[in-house]
Amino acid sequence: MGVQDDRRTVHSGLIHPSHHQYWLRDQVEPNVDTLYDNDDPGADPLVALDDSGRMACIHTGMYGFDLPVTVETWSRPPEPDLDLWEEVIEFSLRLGEGASVESLLSDGHLGLDLPGATGDYRIRLHATGRREAAVLEHLSLAEGDELVEKHMMQIWAAPSAPVRWLKELPRSVEELDPSLPRTDFYVETSTGQYWLSDYTTGRHAAAVTGKGNGVILPEPPGHMAAIFTARDDAIVEVVLDILDKAPELDLDGWDEGAEVSMVLTGPDVGCNFGEIDSSPPGYVDLPAEVGHSRTYRVRVSVKGRRRPHRLADHPGDQRYAERHLIQIWAAPDGPEKTWKTAGR
């Protein structure tokens, strides 16, 4: 079913997911083998993108059968409306002729009219009911089931940008263990670095040369900094705190630390990693209005370099892991400082 006005075209119908998934793609052959290497960085991933940027796999709570899906194609970016949805995430794809929402493992698809020619599009994906549907597993109109899981996509032409959560369900109470240390999010590296950013540069990675103190190296004008891991391939538990004053220096249990000054611009800050990913969901607010720049001190404390670090909530994970504490507070420009530099 399609409805059109001067700003958007709306298509809605039932998609038939199978194995907890369905797809958004066009007629160009995607790199399907890479889909599941690129889950979004949320605690319960909602979307995975193939390496070519031509296909998205959307993860459902239900195992299969009937999922109501609405697709809105817009001539301009719509204002976010988060109230009716439990989860909202944005990502980018390159789409062209024959773009559709479909399940490759069952019949049925939902065609859509792109608001332009082949090119880069931004997709805002909304979902509700995934957790409830995961318990029920199969939802079928023919069997009289209530279709508790629903999805909606908004699509408009826009330059490619990193995946960004706008609204994410908190981890369920059953998943939380009060004995575990706090972790705000994870980043994964294949180049030995990820990037602290206020998202004003339009770039995903920091333009730095060398490794500086080996922990954090800001770009000269600020706004982005590279944070380093000891090995190229690493997974990092990250705690990110925005503070109202300088914290006491406490390196007990940390292998090393470094502190630098950076200019950051409001309203928020987060971390980019990989090719397109960023965390935490929704970013973290700075004490600054939109467009307001000021100088901050950024302290990064690191563990896992002198002795193996095991991920607190993934005890069987054998990947090289580190734990980073990033602390940020407003302060005048000051000299770089380092502590307990391991092995140098």
Q: Which range is least confidently modeled, 78-87, 132-141, 225-234?
A: 132-141
pLDDT digits (tens, 9 = 90+) for 140-178: 888 888 999 999 999 999 999 999 999 988 755 444 455
Do the beta carbons of residue 35 and residue 41 sit within 8 Å? no
Q: Is 243 exposed, middle or buried (0-12, 13-18, 19+ CB in 10 A)?
A: middle
Tokens matching residue 24: 């958004």
Q: Which of 157, 154, 166 is nearest to 69 (CA)?
A: 154
Tokens matching residue 172: 């369920």
- Domains of the chain in sequence order: 2-175 (2.60.34.30), 185-339 (2.60.34.30)
Q: Report pLDDT for 171.
A: 56
Tokens matching residue 290: 């939109």
CA pair distance 138, 157, nearest whole angstrom:
35
- Residue length of the chain: 344
Q: Report pLDDT for 316.
A: 60
CA pair distance 256, 338, nearest whole angstrom:
8
Strands (E), 158-291: 164-167, 185-189, 193-197, 216-218, 224-228, 234-243, 256-265, 268-273, 277-285
Q: Is 12 exposed, middle or buried (0-12, 13-18, 19+ CB in 10 A)?
A: middle
Q: Is 240 helix (H, G, I), strand (E, B) or coil?
A: strand
Q: Which of 341, 328, 344 is nearest to 260 (CA)?
A: 328
53 DSSP β-pair partners: none
Compute the average pLDDT of residues 188-194.
92
Tokens matching residue 70: 């609405």
Q: Report pLDDT for 26.
A: 87
CA pair distance 293, 201, nearest whole angstrom:
13
Q: Report pLDDT for 28.
A: 84
Tokens matching residue 320: 């090289």
pLDDT digits (tens, 9 = 90+) for 266-318: 999 999 998 888 888 657 889 988 899 999 999 999 998 877 787 766 656 67
Q: Which residue has the tokens 């470094």?
A: 258
Name the pTM for this structure.
Answer: 0.53
Give me the helices (H) in 21-72, please.
none
